[in-house]
Amino acid sequence: MILPFIINSILVAIAVLIHYEALNFLSTLIPKLKIKHRLRVLFGVFGALFAHVIEIWLFAFAYYFSIRSKYFGSLEGDFNNSLMDCSYFSFTTYTSLGFGDIEPTGDIRFLAGLEALTGLVLIGWTASFMFLEMQKLWREK
């Protein structure tokens, strides 16, 4: 039980650090861009989306290697043990969409719950970041 806790904690920490660095990079780059205000906003949105996709794939690889090890549980249902199915499960979990066609069993359930919570927090962080960046750009206008 301690090993899944450590692995899950490391995964969440890496996702948060990726997100922090991405938003920090965007906050310094966006004001320097010599393009129209609306294009700077779009640059920020696409940059944040890219960060989310990297974080989702981080969790997808964690699921993939976890189910391969047989020690952490499995994903069951409409699932064929492929990396693409792990990424699909990760996308639906991170966004809290959760279609329910794939179900985690064993210790991997805790990773799924943490991914959903992490996704919720990081998506909220992105929303507040983009709001603040847009306010700065509107003031410059």
**Overall number of domains in the chain:** 1
Which alpha helices (DSSP H) does 95-107 contain, by range?
Answer: none
Could you tell me the residue range of the domain that residue 84 belongs to?
2-140
Tens digits of residue pLDDT in 117-136: 999 999 999 999 999 988 88
* Angle separating helix axes 83-94 and 108-140, nearest 10 degrees: 60
Tens digits of residue pLDDT in 91-103: 999 999 989 999 9
User: Taking 70 as the threshold, does the pLDDT of residue 141 lie above it?
Assistant: no
Quick one: tokens of 125? Answer: 């962080």
Tens digits of residue pLDDT in 4-35: 999 999 999 999 999 999 999 999 999 898 88
Tens digits of residue pLDDT in 109-121: 999 999 999 999 9
pTM comes to 0.93
Q: Please report, for the domain that includes residue 125, its CATH number.
A: 1.10.287.70
Tens digits of residue pLDDT in 69-90: 989 999 999 999 999 999 999 9
98-111 per-residue burial string, b: 16 or more CB within 10 A, e: under 16: eeeebebebbbebb
